[in-house]
Amino acid sequence: MRYYSLRTKLFLYSMIFCFTGVVLVGAYSYFTAREALIQRTYQQLISLKEEKEVRIEEFYRERARNLKFLSTPNNVLRIIASLNSQLFETNDIKAIQKDDNSIIDPQLIRYLADAKAYVSLSFGLPNNRIHSFKISSDSKISGYYTSSLVNTSLGNLYQKAIERKGVVFQDLTKGSLLTEYSSFIASPIYNADSILLGVIFLEISDKAINGIMAEQLNEKGLGNTGEVYLVGQDNLLRSSSRFIEKSILLASCNSEVVKSAHEGKVGVQKTIDYRNQKVLSAYGPVNIDDLKWVIIAEMDYEEAMKEIIVLGKRILLISFLVFITLTIGVFILSKKITAPLIRLKEVAISVGDGKYEQTLPITHHDEIGLLTDVFNKMVLQIKHITSSLKEREQRLTHFYKATIDGIVLHKAGTPVLVNHALSYLTGYSEDELIKRSPQDYLLIDVETYISAQQNAIFSFEAILKTRSDRKVPVEVQKNRLLFHGQEVESLVIRDISRRKAIEEELHTERLRQMRSVIDGQEQERQRLSRELHDGLGQTLVAIKLKLESIPLDELGNQRKTIESVKQMFNHTIEETRRMSNNLMPAALTEFSLAVVLRNLCIEIESNSGINVSLVIGVLPESFNQLLKTYIYRIAQEALNNIVKHSGASRAVISIFSDISKLYLHIEDNGVGYNPSKGYESGNGLYNMKERAILLNGKFEIITSVGNGVKIQAEFPIFPKQKM
């Protein structure tokens, strides 16, 4: 791992902190200024859009007022009468003679010319003829035009004005009467009797609209790219573009703001305009009857951001200068702060090397001075403790060398220290042991090893495998301790082979004595069984035969007494046979184990009323007589316990074997018992377990309160008898 000094870390952390602060302040300033500039631009666009919107709406309202003024009968009766004469029934455009200006009142012409918005005045008559007069800039009529209204756009406007009976507007169109682009406003004319005289039309030039939309754009702070334009319902421009020479009814604008404005929405947005340029835009609809126009005020985003780009460069420059200044200041400050700490580190390294005489002078009256004072005191304490530890280490070394128990200190299986006694126990040299994991010469079963790993202090038995492959039983004490500043695991290994031999002798002697007792019981049972059968049983049979030989006709009144005595002798003989059979069933020596167990089950079932089932599997052809007797006694004791204590209604005995072992299972559906309380029912279960041990077998009891008892035993078919 790469080493970084405290001075370097302090410098780096301070610089990171300073750099982060400068970046955050600069970024905050930049983005705040940019947002403020964008909002300012939006406000300018909104202001300009609203101004142009008000002016264009007022422009068309003024045109409507002009038309209403012209459409009064007093102004147009003489004109309508003249138009109905033959003088104007021609299809040619021609200059009107000076004398002909009297057809239209010059004051009326001057009124229209002063508006600077009209290019022609037209009259649509009920005979489907339209008469148009071109208005010149010198307030005179410079020409006229007459044509049919049938199937023309003005004809449609004529019908619309009559139907509405008021002022109607026509959207800007290409190829009007006298100019390239214009729009019309129309109103019907009625006399005093409300009879339709015709429809009056005023043609509005596109230049009048463009004059409003393009006026004073630079003065409004929109620079070289700001513009305000009108868009019709067909998304075509209705005013001239600042960037496209011919744009009216030619340039299409399908931007998002146009769609939003057509939906009646008003707002601002950064979007892409009809030139495919990123712009800041303010938008909204124009409220003019019959004209579905929207007004858009826009400025290129790049031009709007020019000031913020300059500001960003200035912020970057200032941030760089501040960062350089902070770097120099932090370097000087970190060097001044860490200088005493570096001196403290150097002395600490010397102390770590065992040079306890060095101390530091206290030159600062702050935390560093306090730390120096504490360090000096700590050095004196370490010096004192080190002397005590050396003395203690010498004593422990003598004790360590004198012990007869093997000791190994290891960390995660890697030895860090072994003693000479372990070398003596294993036969390996200390150099060889320091390279071997304790698991290489300690044989520990899995359960014991897992338990030892989970406990800080643990004692267990294991097998020590020596260099000559001799296996020695040992006792291992496991502990955790600190060794040279690191936590290690200690193993103290003690040879217990002598103790094991003594324990084995004691165990063998105990089994021999127990076997002698049990075998003595069996021999005594056999003797008593023979005595009852051959002695008392035969005597009783002889007495019975003697009684039966007495003629019954000579007994007289003693006949009933003799019959009663016979019955008593029969009962006594049967009881004697039963006792003899219980002590030692003759079938054990004459019949198979299956037959003996079946007779036992029948007898228990008949005497107790418990349903006893016997399940017999594959059994070997011949049995060791001792094995047969012990298995019978275990089954007999188990059934007696079931009858006396279980309260069961059913019991099952299963016996079967494989190649090398015989298995005996006995279970009931009784009340069971708490196994933690031991064998409370007496010595019966204990005797069964002892018999299984004498046969080198296994004996297990599975039970709980309310769940009956299940006994599982297994025996070698040809057991090695323990003496």
The predicted structure's pLDDT at residue 568: 72
Asked if the model's pLDDT at residue 672 lies above 90, the reply is: no
- Per-residue confidence (pLDDT) for residue 224, from 0 to 100: 82
Pairing of strands 698-703, 709-716: antiparallel
Report how far residue 516's alpha carbon sits from residue 694's, in angstroms, rounded to the nearest whole number. Answer: 11
Nearest to 188 by CA among 125, 144, 131: 125
b (16+ CB within 10 A) / e for 74-105: ebbeebbebbbeeeeeeeeeeebeeeeeebbe
Calculate the average pLDDT of the chain: 78
CATH second-level architecture of 403-495? Answer: 2-Layer Sandwich (3.30)
For residue 361, what pLDDT is reported? 74
- Find the helix or strand (DSSP H, E) in which 628 lies: helix 625-641
Query: What's the confidence (pLDDT) of residue 220?
Result: 61
CATH code of the region 585-723: 3.30.565.10
Residue type, 451: S
What's the pLDDT at 92? 45
Per domain, the residue ranges of the chain are 71-210, 356-389, 403-495, 585-723
Q: What is the DSSP letter of 86?
A: G
CATH 3.30.450.20 fits 71-210, yes or no: yes
More confident residue, 411 or 345: 411
- Predicted pLDDT of residue 640: 86
Taking residues 607-623, what's their average pLDDT? Answer: 85
Lowest mean pLDDT: which of 88-102, 296-310, 623-637? Answer: 88-102
The pLDDT of 455-472, averaged and rounded, is 78
651 — pLDDT class (breaks 50, 70, 90): very high
Structural element, H or E, at residue 124: strand 118-124
Same fold, 71-210 and 403-495: yes
Query: Is residue 238 over pLDDT 70?
Result: yes
Q: What percent of the chain has pLDDT over 70?
A: 76
Of the ranges 135-149, 355-369, 559-573, 628-642, which is most confident?
628-642
Question: Residue 90: its pLDDT value, please?
Answer: 46
Question: Average pLDDT for residues 666-684, to the nearest whole number?
Answer: 74
Predicted pLDDT at 296: 93
Does position 587 have pLDDT exceeding 60, yes or no?
A: no
> Can you give the pLDDT at residue 585?
59
What is the dihedral angle through the alpha carbons of 387, 388, 391, 395, rounded to the nearest 10 degrees?
A: -160
Q: Where are the alpha helices (DSSP H) in 71-152?
A: 73-83, 106-115
Average pLDDT rounded to a whole number, residues 644-654: 90
Q: How much is the pLDDT for 528?
A: 61
* pLDDT score at 472: 85
What contacts 24+ positions apart, CB below 8 Å, involve 227-230? Answer: 227/297, 227/298, 227/299, 228/48, 228/49, 228/52, 228/295, 228/296, 228/297, 228/298, 229/253, 229/295, 229/296, 230/56, 230/286, 230/293, 230/294, 230/295, 230/296
Is the pLDDT at 584 greater than 70? The verdict is no
563 vs 354: CA distance, rounded Å: 115
Two structure tokens written together for 656? 């079967």
Split at pLDDT 50, 70, 90, the class of 293 is very high
**306: Cβ contacts below 8 Å, ≥ 6 apart:** none
Smallest Cα–Cα separation from 208: which of 53, 68, 50, 56? 56
User: Which residue, chain included where needed, has tokens 């015989």?
Assistant: 662
Average pLDDT over residues 432-459: 72
- DSSP string computed for 123-140: EE-TTSEEEEEEEPTTSS
Band of the pLDDT at 96, cuts 50, 70, 90?
very low
Give residue-wise pLDDT tens across range 181-211: 788 999 998 888 888 888 999 988 888 888 8
Q: Give mean pLDDT, residues 293-308.
A: 88
Mean pLDDT of 12-27: 83
Tokens of 192: 């005093």
d(CA 635, CA 395): 64
694: nearest Cα among 427, 542, 515: 515
pLDDT, residue 555, reads 59
Mean pLDDT over 239-261 rounds to 88
Helices 625-641 and 593-608 cross at an angle (nearest 10°) of 20
Check residues 374 and 117 and name the one with the higher pLDDT.
Answer: 117
pLDDT tens-digit readout, 315-333? 888 888 888 888 888 888 8
